[in-house]
Amino acid sequence: MSNDLFNLTRRSFGGLLGGAAGAAALGTLARPALAQSFPSRPVTLIVPFAPGGSTDLVARLVAAKMGDALGQQVIVDNRGGAGGNLGAGTVAKAAPDGYTILMGTVATHALNPALYKKISYNAETDFAPISLLVNVPNVLTVNPNFEAKTVKELIDLAKANPGKYSYASSGNGSPLHLSGELFKKLAGVDLVHIPYKGSGPALVDVIAGQVPIQFDNMPSSTEHIKAGRLRALGVTTAKRVPTFPDLPAIAETLPGYDTYSWNALFAPAGTPKEAIDRLHDAAVKAVADEAVKAKLSDFSAVVVGSGPDELATLVKTELAKWAPIVKDSGAQID
């Protein structure tokens, strides 16, 4: 081979190597750029319950701040129905691109798989966990004109009048329905369950006196309790909550009674990690915001802001916890 040909070949090969290195460098630079490009349009946050309930309240507080962090609006879309299955199923089948996410709850990811004979999604495999946002206590309330002023008085009244009194909840198989069923079992009383399509409609009838008793999430009942439109008898968590230190825990009368709800963000399974990371960071910033924390604290929601792995573990734990409770309650939905 001549020197000229050798030099030409060497230069060409070197150029190829340089081009390959440049392409690799561009690829390396492109990956962060791709991550930063999400989201390039608004994100839809599906709330699988009617407006007015605690899940809706938490979602709207968090969505606004997430939008600030993402640089794109996070739009809350209420898709109530089938105890949360409709909205959850919608997200499970959505494009896994991060633009459709779910405000999941203990109902969608722990209770419904045990309650429903047929369900359109798998709580573990059809979703990519983003973050557990808050834990939310529930509360037992009555209309202010109702005779019972304590948990013990309610139990005594119900025992003396089996089947006479009814309690409202946000729907068949909801955490609040099962809070009521657990109460009935431990107290040995017969109360009639009246299901509603969400906490909002149930609150209206309890305040109006159409139904005397309700199990509700603390967030949606807090202002009504403070205003005297409802009388709170007890919180459903094992211990009292800081925002209502004088309100007894039901467990003080019924040892072992402990139920609560939680709100968490999920994306469809297969959503790119870059999108999950961006959504997680925005969600954690949202619940860490002092104004958001103050509003959540007003109705006793406890901020968590977990990572995706912790949320995945929670779902497994909750599924195992609630399955026997649902079975013992006899609740089953076709």
CATH number, domain with residue 124: 3.40.190.150
**What CATH number is given to the structural domain containing 234?**
3.40.190.10
Is residue 244, in this structure, part of any structural domain at all?
A: yes
Would you state the structure tokens that stand for residue 59, as one six-digit string? 């979602």
Is residue 30, in this structure, part of any structural domain at all?
A: no
Domain boundary (232, 252, 272) is at: 252
Co-location of 229 and 285 in the same domain:
no
Co-location of 146 and 107 in the same domain:
no
Print burial letters for 253-263: b (CB count within 10 Å at least 16), e (below 16): bbeebebbbbb
- pLDDT tops 80 at residue 10: no
Is residue 112, in this structure, part of any structural domain at all?
A: yes
Query: What pLDDT, in 10s, does the model give residues 185-226?
Result: 899 999 999 999 888 899 999 999 999 999 998 888 999 999
Print burial letters for 116-126: b (CB count within 10 Å at least 16), e (below 16): beebebebeeb
Co-location of 102 and 161 in the same domain:
no
Co-location of 241 and 270 in the same domain:
no
Average pLDDT over residues 302-313: 96
What pLDDT score was predicted for residue 242?
85
Domain of residue 201 covers: 137-252
Is residue 65, in this structure, part of any structural domain at all?
A: yes
Q: How many structural domains compose the chain? A: 2
Round the average pLDDT of the chain to a whole number and report it.
88
Residue 9's pLDDT band (cuts 50, 70, 90): very low
Is residue 181, in this structure, part of any structural domain at all?
A: yes
Co-location of 225 and 300 in the same domain:
no
Distance CA 144, CA 155 (A): 17
pTM over 0.75: no
Whether residue 146 contacts residue 212, with contact meaning beta carbons closer than 8 Å, is answered with yes
Domain boundary (233, 252, 271) is at: 252
Domain boundary (195, 217, 252) is at: 252
Co-location of 235 and 293 in the same domain:
no
Distance CA 270, CA 272 (A): 6
Whether residue 178 contacts residue 259, with contact meaning beta carbons closer than 8 Å, is answered with yes
Q: How many CB atoms lie under 10 A from the CB of residue 24?
A: 10
Distance CA 49, CA 60 (A): 13
Distance CA 52, CA 189 (A): 30
Co-location of 229 and 301 in the same domain:
no
Is residue 35, in this structure, part of any structural domain at all?
A: no
